[in-house]
Amino acid sequence: MKFIFHPEASHELNHAIDFYEERQEKLGTEFMEEVYATIQRIIEFPNNFPRHSKNTRKCFTNRFPFTIIYQIKPEEILIIAVAHQSRKPGYWKERF
């Protein structure tokens, strides 16, 4: 199964990568690798993670305080948000 990012989720990912890279060299790359490892877990076991809303599920990254919000589509996983866990809950709901 493949995955795609909602445009705003892609922006969130890139913004967070830049943020971490500014804090420490290579930390942005480590964050990106963690997000993609989390997405790989989602692809392998899409229904194993808790529901976040009626049409979405969530999966936490291991090392960073981020949650991947996603929808399971017939042919792909749609990443709706790469959400920092301190950000206002549900801010991404208007994306679908």
Per-residue pLDDT of the chain (96 residues; tens, 9 = 90+): 899 999 999 999 999 999 999 999 999 999 999 999 999 999 999 999 999 888 999 999 999 999 999 999 999 999 999 999 998 888 888 887
Q: Domain for residue 58, yes or no?
A: yes
DSSP string of 5-59?
E-HHHHHHHHHHHHHHHHHSTTHHHHHHHHHHHHHHHHHHSTTSSPEEETTEEEE
Q: Domain for residue 92, yes or no?
A: no
Q: Domain for residue 80, yes or no?
A: yes
pLDDT at 92: 84
Q: Domain for residue 31, yes or no?
A: yes
Q: Domain for residue 94, yes or no?
A: no
pLDDT at 77: 98
The whole domain housing 57 covers 2-84
How is residue 63 annotated by DSSP?
S
What's phi and psi for 69, nearest 5 deg? -100, 130
Q: Domain for residue 42, yes or no?
A: yes
- Cβ atoms of 6 and 94 within 8 Å: the answer is no
Q: Domain for residue 25, yes or no?
A: yes
pLDDT at 12: 97
Q: What is the CATH number of the domain that holds 72?
A: 3.30.2310.20
Q: Domain for residue 35, yes or no?
A: yes
Q: How many CB atoms lie within 10 A of CB 94?
A: 7
Count the domains in the chain. 1
Ramachandran bin of 84, using left for φ above 0, alpha for ψ from -120 to 50, beta for the remaining angles: beta
Q: How far does Cα 66 stand from its chain's mean position?
A: 7
pTM above the 0.85 mark?
yes
